[in-house]
Amino acid sequence: MQVACSPSEKFMTITVNIHEAKTHLSRLLERVAGGEQVIIAKAGKPVAMLTPITSAPAERVPGIDKGRLLIGSEFDAPLPEFDE
């Protein structure tokens, strides 16, 4: 396991190999929940990253853009390129 952190990074990062990730997944998830990033490597090359979810995505509201988009009456008209 390798641990790295720089002042510009938001998260402390650790790197583990695939075997270690499979063996200790629960422990790694606890660390991720605590704010760390986990990079999973195969033969020393990073292949995946576990990162904490910092916030839930904004809830979508249907109709929020009502009135902002106008579709012209000719929208469904045949295109001149396809006239026979």
Stretch 61-71: mean pLDDT: 88
Q: Which amino acid is at 4?
A: A
Is 67 inside any structural domain?
no
With contact defined as beta carbons under 8 Å apart, do 17 and 42 qualify? yes
What is the per-residue pLDDT for 10?
62
Is this model's pTM higher than 0.75 or not?
Answer: no
| Residue 9 backbone phi and psi in degrees, to 5 | -85, 145
Domain count, the chain: 1
* Predicted confidence (pLDDT) per residue in 14-39, tens digit: 999 999 999 999 999 999 999 999 99
CATH of the domain at 49: 3.40.1620.10
* Predicted confidence (pLDDT) per residue in 37-57, tens digit: 999 999 999 999 999 988 888
Is 26 inside any structural domain?
yes
Closest CA to 27 of 1, 9, 59, 53: 1
Stretch 56-80: mean pLDDT: 87
**Residue of higher predicted confidence among 19 and 60:** 19
The order of strands in the sheet holding 13-17 is 2-4, 13-17, 37-42, 45-50
